[in-house]
Amino acid sequence: MTETHYPGHCHCGAVGFDYATARAPEEWSVRACQCRFCRMHDALSTSDPAGRLAFAHAEPDQLQRYRFALKTADFLLCGRCGVYVGAMIDVGGASYGIINTHALDAAPPDMASVGAISYDDEDIDGRVSRRAQRWTPVVPA
C-alpha cells in the first residue's frame, strides 16, 4: 500500500509536520486523551507505528516545548498562536511522535471515529513503552 502524506501546521504556519501513513483515514486510531492538557486543547491524536512523521518548522524560534505530569514527552506548541500540533518522545536513540488531527491542513472527511482514553494508571516505564510501540517514528525534516 502506498503512503499518503498529510501535512499540518499551527494557525499562523510557524510550526508544523508531515505525517506519512499507508493506513486509510477510516483505519486511523484517533484518540481523545482525557488528561487536562489534551482536554483544554481539544486534542485528537493519531499515530501509525508503520508510518513516518517529520516535524518541520518555518519559524523554529516559535516552537515551544512543554512537559507535564510524568515529563516523558515534549508537547509541541506554537509560541505565537498557541496551537498544539503534536508531541514527541526519545527512546533508546529513536524518536516517536503523534499529531493533533486538528492541526492537519485538511482533515480527511472519512477519518475514524474518536475514542476517549485515559492513561492515568500508567507508570513512567509503561508510558514510555506504549509510546515506543504505538507512536509514529520521527524522521528528519
Q: What is the pTM of this model?
A: 0.94
String of DSSP letters for 59-102: SGGGEEEE--TT--SEEEEETTT--EEEEEEEETTEEEEEEEGG
pLDDT of 16 strictly over 90: yes
Average pLDDT over residues 130-139: 97
- CB–CB of 78/13 below 8 Å? no
Average pLDDT over residues 23-43: 96
pLDDT in the model for residue 33: 95
Over pLDDT 70: what percentage of the chain? 99
| CATH class in words for 4-133 | mainly beta
Residue 124: strand, helix, or coil: helix
Average pLDDT over residues 16-27: 97
pLDDT in the model for residue 141: 84
Tens digits of residue pLDDT in 58-98: 999 999 999 999 999 999 999 999 999 999 999 999 999 99
The model's confidence at residue 118, banded by pLDDT at 50, 70 and 90, is very high
